[in-house]
Amino acid sequence: MFTEEEQKEITVELGKYPRKDAAGLEILKIVQKHRGWISDESLSEVARLIGQTSDEMDSVATCYNHIFRKPVGKHVIFVCDGMACWIKGYENILEYLSRRLGITMGQTSADGRWTLLPSSCLGVCEKAPVMIVDDDLYVELDTAKIDEILNRYK
């Protein structure tokens, strides 16, 4: 069952397109925002709403990098591994993050607080290296900055 809040946001998205199925991906994003990830149950619920089979919906969901079909931590960190960030040594940033959080790329910390994921070029190359935490962009990273950033997220 969609919550009232989810339903409200879904109605706005459906209004953008002449066909229901076009809003599928955007609805998945709404549901993910509220529930953290897309479980099989959530997937089927959205599929039914837009008139697709669960398999059709899953083929869409798995095509895109930012739909999570597995549970993720409370905060998701996307480390940019684009070429400008590579040139500017993003690997040091990743190594430091891994050490601080005790996880490697693709893992979620045991306390469920953090998930670490790679991102292709985030389009902020002039301020490399960069990363996104949840919805926030951080630029010109160094290890001192990372300590400060991580402390902001409880």
Binding site for another protein (CB under 8 A): 16-19, 21-26, 28-29, 50, 59-60, 63-67, 78, 81-84, 86-88, 119-128, 132, 135-137
Min dist CB 84 to another protein, Å, is: 4
Six token digits for residue 96: 């430091």
| Contact partners, residue 1, CB within 8 Å, separation at least 6 | 45
Minimum CB distance to another protein smaller for 19 or for 110: 19
Min dist CB 85 to another protein, Å, is: 9
Dist CA 87 CA 42 (whole Å): 40
Minimum CB distance to another protein smaller for 13 or for 110: 13
Six token digits for residue 99: 């050490």
Dist CA 88 CA 74 (whole Å): 28
Minimum CB distance to another protein smaller for 66 or for 147: 66
Half-sphere exposure of 120 (CA within 13 A, CB side): 3
Minimum CB distance to another protein smaller for 22 or for 110: 22
